[in-house]
Amino acid sequence: MIFNAALLAIGLAPLLATAQLSGSVGPTTSYTTKASNKICNVLNYGGVADKKTDIGPAITSAWSACKSGGVVYIPSGDYALGSWVTLTGGKSTAIRLDGTIYRTGTGGGNMIFIEHTSDFELFSSTSKGAVQGFGYEFHKKGSLSGPRILRLYEVTDFSVHDLALVDSPSFHFSMDTCENGEVYNMAIRGGNSGGLDGIDVWSTNIWVHDVEVTNKDECVTVKSPAKNILVENIYCNWSGGCAMGSLSSDVDISDVVYRNIYTWSSNQMYMIKSNGGSGSVSNLVLENFIGHGNAYSLDIDQQWSSMSTVDGDGVQLNNITIKNWKGTEANGAQRGPIKVNCAADAPCTDVTIEDFAMWTESGSYQKEICNNAYGSGACLKSGSGGSYSTTVTVKTAPTGYSAATMAADLKTAFGTVSSIPIPTIPTSFYPGATPISALAGAAKTTSTCSCGN
For 122, phi and psi rounded to 5 degrees?
-125, 120
CB-side exposure of 18: number of CA atoms within 13 Å?
17
* Residue 57, SS3 per DSSP: helix
DSSP class of 424: P
Round to whole Å and give the CA distance between 192 and 214: 8
Which run of H or E residues covers position 427? none
Residues acting as catalytic residues: 217, 292
Alpha helix positions (H), 119-274: 136-139
Round to whole Å and give the CA distance between 236 and 220: 8
Round to whole Å and give the CA distance between 243 and 284: 12
Cβ neighbors of 129 (< 8 A, separation 6 or more) are 74, 96, 97, 98, 99, 100, 123, 162, 163, 164
Mode of pairing for the β-strands spanning 2-4 and 78-81: unpaired
Residue 360 burial (C-beta neighbours within 10 Å; 0-12, 13-18, 19+): buried
SS (H, E, C) 300-367: EECECCCCCCECCCCCEEEEEEEEEEEEEECCCCCCCCEEEECECCECEEEEEEEEEEEEECCCCCEE
Kindly list the distances between the CA atom of residue 427 and the CA atoms of 72, 88, 124, 233, 436, in Å, as whole numbers in the listed order.
27, 33, 15, 11, 10
